[in-house]
Structure 1
Amino acid sequence: MHTTGLELFWFILIGVLWAGYFFLEGFDFGVGMLLTLIGRDDLERRAVINTIGATWDGNEVWVIVAGGATFAAFPLWYARMFSAFYLALFILLVALIIRGVAFEYRGKRQSATWRRNWDIVITVGSLVPALLWGVAFGDLIKGIPITANGIFTGSLLSLLQPYALVAGLATLSLFLLHGALFLNLKTTGALKERASALAGRIAPITAVIILAFLAWTWEVARTEHHAGDVPGMIPVSALLLVVAASWLNRERLSGWAFTVTGVAILAITATVFMTLYPDVITSSLSSAASLTIAEAASQPYTLRAMTIVAAIFTPFVLLYQGWSYYIFRRRVSLPHETVPASDQPHEV
């Protein structure tokens, strides 16, 4: 079946939504995973949480919109993906729920044990999605045992194939680096120094994992049953940006370091979607059983109506989120630290 302009537009838009989610929620996950490493006592951990306290739940809206857009624009993709990944997505959803609960409940009691336990929940609730999102997209590219009529014949273990695990480690390590650089950008004093030092240690490991993932992805796109054509400059640029982030961090250019890891996330997401195209789910049983964009798409009328709604409301959403980041742009510091008047922190 031939892919129409509207179907391609919505496939690209869904890719943009996932890229935005990984860019924004990526540093949230990184901050959560680094919580107990950067913060050495309750006061410091409260400061670390405060760096994302005003924005983390807003960042999660991106994945809700991405899921809703997939359901409306490509209902067959949505149905088959959730059927195949049912247990994995359930685990991921539980992790996201307990993470949100932990943010709200850790301050309800003064007990050190109570808060320490919730801090562990935040760490685990951030680590699991950071890993599983990469595994899920790796499975979509490499292929899962699904028949032509959409029946998933595998198990949870069959989703943990080597390529998918490397993809999961790639997102995990990249989000860790992104989060460390965000903390370097948003904190002061000892917290900032620890975040910078940790980013310097994470960056080389991340670069090696990203190299392995991109090289394997290139090989999958070249040799297996994918018609996707990924320009070589995109994955190469993603790797170079990760390397550049390490140098920028050493030069104490924290804003630029954080920016280039964000652009690397966008480039890697683009690589994933361009490799997947024109499929939305790849079958490991037979290339004929793979689900294409055209086969999964809604009717043209639905896509036209969705396009009009998206064109009207998307600018307002982007403006609001940009405004919220502007309002909470200042660094977070501990009460005993002094910072310039132009960069006063939020209260901890």
Structure 2
Amino acid sequence: METILGLNLATWWFLVIGGIFSGYAILDGFDLGAGALHLFFNKEESRRKALNAIGPVWDGNEVWLVIGGGALFAGFPVVYATIFSAFYEPFMIFLVMLIFRAISIEFRSKEPMLWWRKTWDISYSVSSIILTLSLGLILGNIIQGLALDQNYFYKGTLGDFFNPYAILIAFTTLSLFMMHGAIYLVMKTENRLYAKLTVIVKNTTIFFVLMFALTSVVTLLYVPHMAKRYQEVPYMFAFPVLAILAVANITRQIAKRKYRYAFMSSALVTALLMVLVAVGLFPNIILSSIDPAYSITVHNGSSTDKSLKIILLFAVIGVPIVATYTTFVFWTFRGKVKLDDASY
């Protein structure tokens, strides 16, 4: 296999895809978290401000999910086919909820009736929660391993997805996104809504810290293969240490009401948690719970070297362009939310 800076092309592509999905988790994470918190705001003005805080960026943030799916298909077609076959029902639910979240945001303010707006408020919040739980459920099953046979066919049932560990990861993901979203909203609001969000930020942070600690203990006790790589390569312990320090810094910055730094730490925690999963699984991408020999790795699940080289070139050019556009949008719509006639 051809190498670049000591790493083969499949490993480089694994890192690129991991970076893209980390970007999606950071960006769409606060959107989903804001949606999950939406019903905590009782006043019409507060709900409109919360919607307009994410209004200019939410659809652009979802672009990272599309890029990630395309990158997975191009770089690891076997993984793409296996995941979408195994998780067919959860992904269908995920897509339906994506549609409902989008139309809830767009339709809510089209009519003045109270029942109309409340209906779409509920739809927006429920779809955001289910989307987040679905992502966590999929991640939890990937961490734990899927029942794959020698042909990479999934031999489990729909009920197998709802195992205790995957459900734990789902609620940990929800707690992370709710905290991330609350911090983002508090940066974008002022006056009474700001005061209410300072309380919500503290509560969601406590929720996440508890879930983070519980998930860490359960993973070490019941998913031992996730610790194997860290035992083999001791310097990899730097990642969990950084994650713990970043979590501690979130609470520190929130106590000082420096929410911009808290948001940066929250984004860092999200990225580091993705890194912890990637390091724990590597070189596997999908671990077979039937027989480790049936697992899909970065080597047996990747495209040819020629294909990887071509698409890696596209990624090197395309991803920075999307990142630049995303930065431009955030810079353009920086500052506190102000409602006007064009607002949601």
8 Å CA contact 1:145–1:285 kept in 2: the answer is yes
Counting aligned pairs with the same residue, the percent is 33
Question: CA-to-partner distance for each residue in 1:71-108, whole Å, 9 max, x for gaps?
Answer: 00000000001111000111111111110111111111
Shift of residue 147, structure 1, vs aligned partner: 0.8
Question: What's the offset of the Cα at 1:246?
Answer: 2.2
**2:19 matched residue in structure 1:** 16
The answer to which structure, 1 or 2, has the higher relative contact order (CA under 8 A, 6+ apart) is: 2
Counterpart of 1:57, as a letter, is D
Alignment of 1:139-178 (within 5 A): 139-178=141-180
Query: CA separation in 2, counterparts of 1:316 and 1:2?
Result: 27
What residue is the counterpart of 1:264 in the other structure?
269
Q: CA deviation at 1:227?
A: 5.6
Correspondences of 1:177-216 after superposition (within 5 Å): 177-216=179-218
The match for 1:323 is 328
Equivalents in 2 of 1:89, 1:6: separation in Å?
Answer: 29
2:128 aligned residue: 126
Counterpart CA distance in 2 for 1:18 and 1:52 is 20
Residues in 1 aligned to 2:164 and 2:62: alpha-carbon distance in whole angstroms: 28
Whether the 8 Å CA contact 1:173–1:202 is kept in 2: the answer is: yes
Segments of 5+ residues of structure 1 without an aligned counterpart are 336-345
Amino acid at match of 2:290: L
| Equivalent position of 1:232 in the other structure | 237
Runs of 4+ in 1 over 3 A off after TM superposition: 1-4, 215-221, 223-230
Q: 1:295 aligns with which of 276, 283, 300?
A: 300
Number of residue pairs the alignment of both structures matches:
336
Q: Measure how far apart 1:36 and its partner are.
A: 1.6
- Once the two structures are TM-superposed, the CA of residue 135 in structure 1 deviates from its matched residue by 1.5
Looking at structure 1, the residues matched to 300 and 218 of structure 2 have their Cα atoms a distance apart, in angstroms, of 27
Q: 2: CA distance between counterparts of 1:33 and 1:254?
A: 19
Q: Is the 8 A contact 2:38 2:47 kept in 1?
A: yes
CA distance in 2, matches of 1:146, 1:180: 39
2:105 maps to amino acid: F
* SS of aligned partner of 1:280: strand
Secondary structure in 2 aligned to 1:264? helix
- For the residues of structure 2 that align with 1:196 and 1:312, how far apart are their CA atoms? 40
- For the structure 1 residues 257 and 107, does the alpha-carbon distance in structure 2 shift closer, same or farther, using more than 3 Å as the test? same
| Matches of 1:70 and 1:226, distance apart in 2 | 25
Displacement after TM superposition at 1:225 (Å): 8.3
Assess, with a 3 A threshold, how the Cα gap between structure 1 residues 334 and 318 changes in structure 2: closer, same or farther: closer
Deviation at 1:254, TM superposition (A): 1.1
Q: Does structure 1 conserve the Cα–Cα contact (< 8 Å) formed by 2:226 and 2:280?
A: no
TM-score with structure 1 setting the length: 0.91
Is 1:34 matched up with 2:37? yes
User: Root-mean-square deviation (CA), in Å?
Assistant: 2.0
Q: Deviations over 1:159-213 (max 9, x none)?
A: 1122211111111000000011111111111111111111111212211111122
Structure 2: state its 5+ residue gaps. none
